[in-house]
Structure 1
Amino acid sequence: MEIREAAERVLFAETLEEKLALAPATASDSLPGLAIAMPEKPGRPRELRIDARGVRVEFPGIHRLDDDRERGVMLHFLANHELLAAELMALVLLKFPDAPKEYRAGVYAAMREEQMHTLMYVRRMRECGIHFGELPVNDYFWRTIAPMETPVDFVTRLNLTFEQANLDFSKHYAALFRQAGDTSTAAVLEKIYQDEIGHVGHGLKWFRRWKDQGSSDWDAYRGALHFPLTPSRAKGVAPFNAEGRRLAGLDEDFIRHLEVSEQSRGRTPVVHWFNPAAESHAMSPRYQADKGVAALETDLEMLIAAWCRKDDVALMRQSPSRDHLAELKRAGFDLPEIASLDELRGRKLGGLRPWAWSPDASLRLKPLAEDVSAGVPWQWRELPREWFSKSIGIRLEELLGLSEHGLICCSVEQALAAVESLLPDAQGLAKAAYSYAGRGHKRINGESPPEATRNWLANVIADHGCVIIEPWLERVTDFSALYEMDSAGRVELIGLTLMENDAAGRFLGTRVSPKWASMLDPEVATFLHREAQVMAWYQEKIPAALATLLPGYIGPLGVDAMVYRRADGSLALKQVVELNVRMTMGRVALELLQKSAPNRQGRFRTLRKGKAEAADLAFGGSLQGGRIALNDPAAAREFIAVWEVI
């Protein structure tokens, strides 16, 4: 028998018996014939015709494997995949008659094995009470592989993607079925697993022969795939099986890259971008990040892993190292897909969510605006620049009816007069309007050199347009209330955190706990809950005011607050120190706490790299406990983000 004759029968026959009738183990390839065009669909009996609306199966967990019906439905789904693989291999033989004879012989042998796999599944599912064709069958394999233009496309899409993914699935489920006592199904999956090792190996052999010889296997593979196929499709929904890939001949570099490669498997992803200098970009459209801010942007980008959902996308300036991604995965993180702007163009997206919708984010993400699905909340936005100014916090205080709040000053004289009016001894705190994280603050008192103070105020007002003058308060406790505002204007309290600031109010870290009050000093806790009525402020009054203050806003918000001590020794609450219309480090800590072991506390810090090295901090913990470096200490330029589960 000729290879072409066997391939035509597998591809075009309209009865299952004909399609699965095995040709001889060896066949002649002396008459390969002319290349055929891709048919719209393979020949199938009516009940097995593939369709985009076919059933996709949620594979049963081990506690459901003893249900015959559930097993049969799963086997039906898998049998269709094996039949499609056989049909696609037949298509390769008919579409590329001039491919090397050795390659075609390997495809022919694999096609026969796919026929046998289908037969094994059909027999086993019948024993489970399901007949092949009883359920609709999906055409995904056909749609993504059949349009191939070269044999390399086939090798990349089927052998190195879908069949490689089956190295995970078949081995894992074979073990589960054997554990559940279903040795018959286990034996089928074990046989398929061994054959898939050979199929992947055959594809790899030819891929290496045909690829650019100057590229690594991994780089060449990534370059050969086209969306919607990505490397993450080469992993099954099962534990990653590195050993099976080694047996197939894949090298360690490929295996380690693949293990940390992620992409959405159905849910339309939200794109996240880390832009921590939002206030500076809002201050001036001509702002250029200095060396320190540029280091902050690149060093801490991986914080996105703290708040994004599984299958989301991290838009990054610099991709983390493979080894660090593997370390985060080992620690328990579900990694986002990491992509560039060009890689995202044209993909359907579930929304855009930067750290802040400041001008830099609006500019950066605008090219993706048309790709965002209609109806999702995370559309492209441009926010008023004053929402990033300290003045927005004062407006919140005014809405809340708080009489003791900072003053907005647009001249040096006005600022100095404000200091004198706030406190008789002329001690105050000046804040640059678009500063953040406690930077851009200056304490003004009688000991400050008058000329130096005037020069500082003049420079700040020239750059920021104004300066905020507040009384200098004796800090006792800094905390933050974190919110999420939806498209209907509802403001939900996500949680409260305890902030760690230095004496000047600069951010050092955040502590979080399932029970916020458990972290407070007893005196402070008693004051806040009995006298200050803290929860009434942060659960009721402030959310209502935020909805009024920020019409149309959707996203994260943070209200920093403070307990301070008056001159008479009593405690007082400053309900609003600052309002941040963006993501905050406190929100990062709360999101990390949600991912960590239950009933544990956590501490989030951003450390200077030199300080972390000097302290000889040991990493290697996980979300179950211990200390984790969220970004790669070896690659960090200046900053290391540390999460500790306590």
Structure 2
Amino acid sequence: MQMREAAERLLFSSTLEEKLALAPESVSDDSPGSAILLPDAPGRPDELRMVSKGVRADFPGVNRLDDDRERGKMLHFLANHELLAAELMALVLLKFPDAPKDYRAGVYEAMREEQMHTLMYLRRMKDCGIHFGELPLNDYFWRLIAPMETPMDFVTRLNLTFEQANLDFSKHYAQLFRQVGDTGTAAVLEKIYQDEIGHVGHGVKWFRKWKAEGETDWQAFGKSLTFPLAPAKAKGIAPFNAEGRRLAGLDEDFISHLEVSEQSRGRTPVLHWFNANAESQVAAAVSGRRFDANKMELALEEDLEMLAIAWCRKDDIVLLRRRPEKEHLVRLKEAGLNLPEVVTLDEMDGHDFTSRRLGGVRPWAWSPDAAKLLRPLTNRVSSNVPWQCREPLPAICFSKEIGNRLEELLEQDGLAERGGVFCRNLETATAEIAIRLREGDVLLKAAHACAGRGHRKVLQNEPQSEHLLWIEKILKNHGGLVVEPWLDRVLDFSSLYEIGAAGEVKWIGMTCMENDAHGRFLGTVVNAKWGSDLDSELREFLFRECKANAFYRQQIPVVLQKLFTEIAPDYTGPVGVDAMVFRKPDGTIGLRHVVELNVRMTMGRVALELFRKLHLQSDSSQPGRFRILRKNNLPKELLSPACSQVINNAIIPLNDPATAKAFVAVWES
């Protein structure tokens, strides 16, 4: 028999018996014939015809594998995949008659094994009371692989993607079936696992022959796939099986890269972007200047952009300026963080977003830089999601003025006293300073200052000339400043919210901030129950006297909704309200209900999300702590290449200390 004849029978036969009649072990390939055109679908009996694009077969949960019918459903799903693999291998033989003889011989051998795999599944299905065709059959493999234009396409799509993923699936499920006492199905999966190692190995051999010279296997693999295929699809929904990949001949560089590679599996991903210099961007726009980031501002965004993994989900996309080292991603995964898909700015144009929908875009802040960068994605965002691309928020949203406006509304409702005054010119500012200095020292805050930067303390006995030049400069560059009393801070805390598409304000949680004496951010502490670690004086004051829980959970959301209806009615996204407990001159304590209002993601929100992802897994009553450290002050163990000791001691560097320029964010639990 000719190889072509066996392939034609398998691909075009309309009966299952003919398709699965095992091809001879030895055939001739001296008459491969002409290349065929791609058929719409393989020949099949009516009951085995695949359903239309977009419909997926039902796949049972692993918790029901001890039920015969549920096992049968899974076997039905797998039998269709094995039959499709055999049909696709037959298609390769018919579509590429001029491919190397050794390659074609390997494909033919694998085709026969796929026939045997299908037959083994059919026998096990029959024992479970399921006949082939009584459940929907999806055409996913056919749609993605059959349009191949070269044998290399087949190698990368089937051998190195779907069959490689089966190295995880078949080994893991063989163990699960043994655990529920189904040794017959376990034996089938174990046989398929061994054969799959050979199929992947055959693909690896030819992939290396055909890939571009000078490229690593991982580089060539990534370039060879187009959406919806991606390297992450080469992993099964099962524990990662590095040993099976080694047996197939994949190298350690490829295996380690794949282990940390991610892509959404069905859920439309949200794209996240870290632009921590939002306030500075707005300040430049307000004053008519071009924003030129200084050395520390550049380091802030580049070093800390990995913080986006805190608030994103596993199926999301994080857009980064540079790709993290795979060793660092491995450490994060070992620490318990589910990694998102990573796309760099350099890859963005080449990344096939055009054929891919997004479930929204979520920058750190909707400042001018974010709007400009993300605007090209507008038409790729699904219309029914809240996080649409948008133009920049009004400048007031990045100004201390918005916090002042919130205080005014609270004061009007009799809920809180206003602590500061927003000034737009020198005359108003100096007059307000003079009034405040009668009662004590004064704090000045530049309109678009962030994280305690752009603050100045004015002492009662300080000559006016000492701060006039600073005020003039701030008014020129920021368009305004806040004048407020200098308070003896006892506790800084933050209440976090999310504004929905209908303008509703949802309370998310609360954190305690660690600031230095000048109000500059150092870190955040999170507890399962906010305030549980405060001393008795603070607990009594906040929870009984001030009724802080009711104020921040119930009253602030109502006023926030009113404020945003006036200022930015179309805003959806995160909001943070910073507050402070302070010591009065008479020794008692007071509450500054609103110190600042941040219309963006905040470090407090980062800490809260990290706590939920990392800390609650350990079921510990201890607080978690998020800090941003200067690299030149890092403990030596944090600079260790492995950092395994650090992770074991529950100190997790969130960005890579080895590549950081100035800042390292850490989580401590």
**TM bucket normalised to smaller:** over 0.9
Mapped pair 1:602 → 2:613: no
Task: Choose the corresponding residue for 1:492, options 502, 506, 514.
Answer: 506
Shift of 1:404: 3.0
Mapped pair 1:386 → 2:404: no
Q: Which residue of 1 aligns with 2:535?
A: 521
CA distance in 1, matches of 2:495, 2:645: 28
Q: Which moved more, 1:396-405 or 1:251-260?
A: 396-405
The alignment's TM-score, normalised by the length of structure 1, stands at 0.97
Q: Which residue of 1 aligns with 2:199?
A: 199
Q: Which residue of 1 aligns with 2:657?
A: 633
Q: Which residue identity is paired with 1:335?
A: L
Percent same amino acid among aligned pairs?
A: 63
1:355-386 CA-to-partner distances (Å, cap 9, x unmatched) read 11111111111011110001100101221111
CA distance in 2, matches of 1:189, 1:616: 43
1:198-242 CA-to-partner distances (Å, cap 9, x unmatched) read 000001100100110210011001001011000000000000000
Q: Which residue of 2 aligns with 1:440?
A: 454
Shift of 1:71: 0.4
Note closer, same or farther for the CA distance 1:584–1:166 as it changes in structure 2 (3 Å cut).
same
* Paired residues of 2:578 and 2:594 also in contact (CA < 8 A): yes
* Paired residues of 1:474 and 1:565 also in contact (CA < 8 A): yes
1:531-555 CA-to-partner distances (Å, cap 9, x unmatched) read 1121222012211111011122211
Q: Which residue identity is paired with 1:472?
A: W
CA distance in 2, matches of 1:481, 1:53: 42
Mapped pair 1:60 → 2:61: yes
CA distance in 1, matches of 2:221, 2:587: 68
Task: Choose the corresponding residue for 2:353, options 340, 345, 348.
Answer: 345
| Structure 1 SS opposite 2:507 | strand
Shift of 1:38: 0.4
Q: Which residue of 1 aligns with 2:594?
A: 576
Q: Which residue of 2 aligns with 1:213?
A: 213
1:561-620 CA-to-partner distances (Å, cap 9, x unmatched) read 000111111111000000000110001111111112234420000000111136868854
Q: Which moved more, 1:414-423 or 1:19-28?
A: 414-423
Q: Which moved more, 1:514-523 or 1:114-123?
A: 514-523
Task: Choose the corresponding residue for 1:564, options 554, 579, 582.
Answer: 582
Shift of 1:76: 0.3
* Paired residues of 1:431 and 1:441 also in contact (CA < 8 A): yes
CA distance in 2, matches of 1:454, 1:615: 46
Q: Which residue of 2 aligns with 1:264?
A: 264
* Paired residues of 1:426 and 1:444 also in contact (CA < 8 A): no
| Structure 2 SS opposite 1:470 | strand
CA distance in 2, matches of 1:495, 1:622: 28
Task: Choose the corresponding residue for 1:395, options 383, 405, 424.
Answer: 405
Shift of 1:178: 1.3
Note closer, same or farther for the CA distance 1:448–1:56 as it changes in structure 2 (3 Å cut).
farther
Q: Which residue identity is paired with 2:295?
A: K
| Structure 2 SS opposite 1:516 | coil
Task: Choose the corresponding residue for 1:415, options 410, 425, 429.
Answer: 429
Shift of 1:405: 2.5
* Paired residues of 1:332 and 1:622 also in contact (CA < 8 A): no
Note closer, same or farther for the CA distance 1:470–1:125 as it changes in structure 2 (3 Å cut).
same
Shift of 1:451: 3.2
Q: Which residue of 2 aligns with 1:226?
A: 226
Alignment of 1:157-172 (within 5 A): 157-172=157-172
CA distance in 1, matches of 2:84, 2:636: 59
RMSD over aligned CA atoms reads 1.6
Note closer, same or farther for the CA distance 1:614–1:510 as it changes in structure 2 (3 Å cut).
same
1:61-106 CA-to-partner distances (Å, cap 9, x unmatched) read 2x42211001000000000000000000000000000000110011
| Structure 2 SS opposite 1:305 | helix
* Paired residues of 2:440 and 2:486 also in contact (CA < 8 A): no
CA distance in 1, matches of 2:424, 2:631: 38
Shift of 1:514: 0.9
Q: Which residue identity is paired with 1:399?
A: L
CA distance in 1, matches of 2:645, 2:66: 37
CA distance in 1, matches of 2:40, 2:522: 61
CA distance in 1, matches of 2:59, 2:401: 52
* Paired residues of 2:227 and 2:352 also in contact (CA < 8 A): no
Q: Which residue identity is paired with 1:388?
A: F
Q: Which residue identity is paired with 1:112?
A: R
Q: Which residue identity is paired with 1:428?
A: V
Shift of 1:412: 2.9
Mapped pair 1:291 → 2:300: no
Note closer, same or farther for the CA distance 1:124–1:623 as it changes in structure 2 (3 Å cut).
farther
Q: Which residue of 2 aligns with 1:149?
A: 149
Shift of 1:40: 0.4
CA distance in 2, matches of 1:587, 1:606: 14
* Paired residues of 1:480 and 1:498 also in contact (CA < 8 A): yes
| Structure 2 SS opposite 1:50 | coil
CA distance in 1, matches of 2:441, 2:595: 17
Task: Choose the corresponding residue for 1:362, options 353, 360, 371.
Answer: 371
Q: Which residue of 1 aligns with 2:445?
A: 431
Q: Which moved more, 1:287-296 or 1:144-153?
A: 287-296
CA distance in 1, matches of 2:81, 2:571: 46
CA distance in 1, matches of 2:537, 2:637: 32
The alignment's TM-score, normalised by the length of structure 2, stands at 0.94
1:116-159 CA-to-partner distances (Å, cap 9, x unmatched) read 00000011111010001111100000000000000000000000
| Structure 2 SS opposite 1:332 | coil
Q: Which residue of 2 aligns with 1:100?
A: 100
1:179-199 CA-to-partner distances (Å, cap 9, x unmatched) read 221110000000000000000
Shift of 1:60: 3.1
Shift of 1:521: 2.0
Q: Which residue of 2 aligns with 1:329?
A: 333
CA distance in 2, matches of 1:520, 1:372: 44
CA distance in 1, matches of 2:338, 2:218: 22
Mapped pair 1:473 → 2:473: no
Q: Which moved more, 1:86-95 or 1:406-415?
A: 406-415
Note closer, same or farther for the CA distance 1:616–1:192 as it changes in structure 2 (3 Å cut).
closer
CA distance in 2, matches of 1:384, 1:325: 37
Shift of 1:27: 0.5
| Structure 1 SS opposite 2:531 | helix
Q: Which residue of 1 aligns with 2:562?
A: 548
Note closer, same or farther for the CA distance 1:616–1:345 as it changes in structure 2 (3 Å cut).
closer
Note closer, same or farther for the CA distance 1:625–1:549 as it changes in structure 2 (3 Å cut).
farther
1:470-521 CA-to-partner distances (Å, cap 9, x unmatched) read 1111111110000111112211111111110000000000000011121212
| Structure 2 SS opposite 1:496 | strand
* Paired residues of 2:638 and 2:653 also in contact (CA < 8 A): no
Q: Which residue of 1 aligns with 2:324?
A: 320
Mapped pair 1:642 → 2:666: yes
Q: Which residue identity is paired with 2:125?
A: M
* Paired residues of 1:272 and 1:313 also in contact (CA < 8 A): yes
1:306-365 CA-to-partner distances (Å, cap 9, x unmatched) read 110120000111111100001111111110000132215312100000111111111111
Unaligned runs of 5+ in 1: none
